[in-house]
Copies of this chain bind each other. A is one copy, B any other.
Amino acid sequence: MTSTEQPGGPRPTPQRQAVLDALTGVEDFRSAQEVHELLAGEGSGVGLATVYRALALYADHGLVDVLRREDGEAIYRRCSDTHHHHLVCRSCGATVEVEGPAVEKWTSAIATEHGFSDLSHTLEIVGTCADCRTD
């Protein structure tokens, strides 16, 4: 740790880059298992444990978003610069990104009011999209 490295920052490695690349260029969320399969299919030979470690590392540093499927499996996505939330179809899994300045403001107001600091929040809207609604 000399100067170009952020304190406590992750050391860049080909494997980590591969994991990050796997999340880049896809707008869907990917589970760790999927990332692993994808990399294996490309012959990267990155180990599953490494995928988990890399994802956890990036999630820690705010480079990727983590959320949970309904079955509890963790899914990851490259975090865009603007904080946004997701609208997920419970049937086909389609996701739509939505931004909510109103929500952002509301959460920080509420939290501050209760003396909370260093905030982060998760908002997920689950519903049935127009295509899947067949009644």
Contact = CB atoms under 8 A, between A and B. Distances in A.
A114 B102 contact: no
Contacts of A87: 110-111, 114, 116
A72 B128 CA distance: 23
Q: How many copies does the complex hold?
A: 2
B129 A110 contact: no
A107 B125 CA distance: 7
Contacts of A118: 90, 127-128, 133
Contact of A125 (B68, B72, B119, B127): B119
Interface of A: 68, 72-74, 87, 89-90, 96, 98, 100, 102-103, 106-107, 110-111, 114-130, 133
